[in-house]
């Protein structure tokens, strides 16, 4: 049964369907040609090719506008990127300047601190030397005072041992006479 259906399908080919003269309504090829021409005519009458062309042109214009917009957006993005890169470079340079300035200020402050420390040490050394000199002078005065008191005591002892009562009375009388002459 399968073989029979395959055989019938091969026999009913389109070339066998057309029989008789070509320009007759009995010929299926002619009828199909007329239907195709009428279909094309209907399409042309209703301006379907123009509408299709217009739709394609409209779509092409839309795509072109989108491409122009994308190009403009790309250029704007590139300019923004360049602007941000410039700003980043400026910020980097400013940060470097700030760091350099801070280093200079720190170095200046360190030098000033060293100078002030040296001055402070010099002042303290001067004060210590003044204290040492004062202590030396005080010690020398104490030694002199002590030497004077020892000498006076020794002289008093010597005079007391050598002094007699008559010499003492004579010295007292001389002292009184001297005081009277100076008072008047």
The pLDDT tens digits for 10-57 are 444 454 555 667 778 788 899 999 999 999 999 999 999 889 999 999
In this prediction, residues 74-91 reach a mean pLDDT of 96
Please report the sign of the dihedral spanned by the C-alpha atoms of residue 107, residue 108, residue 109, residue 114: positive
Q: What is the DSSP letter of 22?
A: T
CA–CA dist 87, 118 (Å, integer)? 46
Band (95; pLDDT cuts 50, 70, 90): very high
Q: pLDDT at residue 4 above 60? A: no
**Alpha carbon distances (Å) from 118 to 37, 55, 105:** 115, 93, 20
Q: Give, in degrees to the nearest 5, the angle at Cα 10 between 8 and 13.
A: 105
């Amino acid at each position: 049964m399968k073989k029979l259906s395959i055989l019938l399908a091969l026999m009913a080919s389109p070339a066998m369907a057309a029989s008789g003269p070509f320009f007759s309504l009995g010929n299926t090829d002619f009828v199909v040609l007329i239907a195709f021409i009428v279909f094309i005519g209907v399409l042309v009458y209703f301006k379907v090719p123009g509408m299709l062309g217009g739709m394609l042109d409209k779509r092409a214009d839309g795509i072109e506008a989108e491409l122009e917009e994308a190009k403009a957006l790309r250029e704007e993005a590139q300019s923004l990127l360049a602007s941000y890169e410039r700003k980043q470079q400026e910020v980097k340079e400013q940060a470097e300047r700030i760091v350099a300035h801070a280093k200079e200020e720190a170095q200046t402050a360190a030098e000033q601190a060293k100078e002030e420390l040296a001055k402070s040490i010099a002042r303290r050394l001067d004060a210590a030397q003044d204290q040492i000199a004062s202590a030396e002078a005080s010690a020398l005065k104490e030694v002199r005072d002590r030497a004077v008191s020892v000498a006076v005591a020794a002289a008093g002892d010597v005079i007391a041992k050598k002094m007699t009562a008559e010499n003492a009375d004579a010295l007292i009388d001389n002292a009184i006479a001297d005081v009277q002459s100076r008072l008047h």
